[in-house]
Amino acid sequence: MRIGPKYKIARRLGAPVFEKTQTPKYALSLARKEKNDNKGRRKPKSEFGQGLVEKQKARYSYGISETQFRTYVTKALHSSDPVQKLFSILESRLDNVVYRAGLAKTRAQARQAASHGHIVINNARVTIPSILLWEGDIVSLRVGSASSPLFKEVEERMKTMTMPVWLKVDPDKRQATVLGRAVYEERENIFNLGAIIEFYNR
């Protein structure tokens, strides 16, 4: 997915949707922008506008195209709990799991690693970052890629990162096991999936 100037997009959305914007310096810049916006008394967004912004936050956070995101939402709308279903799909993507496990520094790097065949699922090499993982799936680095400079900090990163409860990692083996499905908690995310579902469900 082609992305424009990241800092500009993050400021427009009012959220650190890219890893490079998740710094104290950027947080300060965002706080200043919000303060100036309040001074200017900008007109509040409509429900449609708010839903659009939340959708963009989620899309850019996961690095997903509009078409692919809409496909995920359509699947979610056919479930009894669309919000939870959508979150589960987004978090279950291979590139996201690789990032969450610490096998890559960013989702973009995780996407690239998967696309170039550096990642294996249950000992089978894959090249599709959007593959959805299920409980019991084991994700690891390909043996031939383990010595690459791209992954030299993986073991240390996996030891220091805080892992989600649905993921178990083994830094020594550089692998992660999916234990279950991710559970959506609005307060723990920078986007509101409820507003996104309402946006598409009009």
Q: From CA 130, how far away is CA 115, in angstroms rounded?
A: 10
Write down the pTM of the prediction: 0.82
- pLDDT tens digits, 164-186: 999 999 999 999 999 999 999 99
Domain membership of residue 23 (yes or no) is yes
Specify whether 76 is located in the same domain as 97.
no
**For residue 5, which amino acid is it?**
P
User: Is residue 37 one of the residues assigned to a domain?
Assistant: yes
pLDDT tier at 191, thresholds 50, 70, 90: very high
In a shared domain, residues 141 and 195: no
Q: At 134, which CATH number? A: 3.10.290.10
Instruction: Let me know if residue 16 belongs to a domain.
Output: yes
- Does residue 33 lie within any of the structural domains? yes
- Lowest average pLDDT, out of 21-30, 141-150, 168-177, goes to 21-30
- The verdict on residue 184 lying in a domain is no
Q: Is the pLDDT of residue 32 over 80?
A: no
| Residues 100 and 163 both lie in one domain | yes
Q: Are residues 169 and 107 in the same domain?
A: yes
pLDDT reported for residue 2: 47
In sequence order, what are the beta bridge partners of 128? none
Domain count, the chain: 2
- Structural domain containing residue 94: 90-178
Residue 70 is assigned to a structural domain of this protein: yes
Q: What percent of the chain has pLDDT over 90?
A: 70
DSSP state of 167: E
156 lies in some domain:
yes
Give the separation between CA 88 and CA 53, rounded to whole angstroms. Answer: 21
Same domain, 28 and 71: yes
pLDDT at 73: 97
Residue entry with tokens 């999916």: 178
Asked whether residue 186 is domain-assigned, the answer is no
For residues 46 and 116, state if they share a domain: no
| 62 and 116 assigned to the same domain | no
- Provide the mean pLDDT of the chain: 87
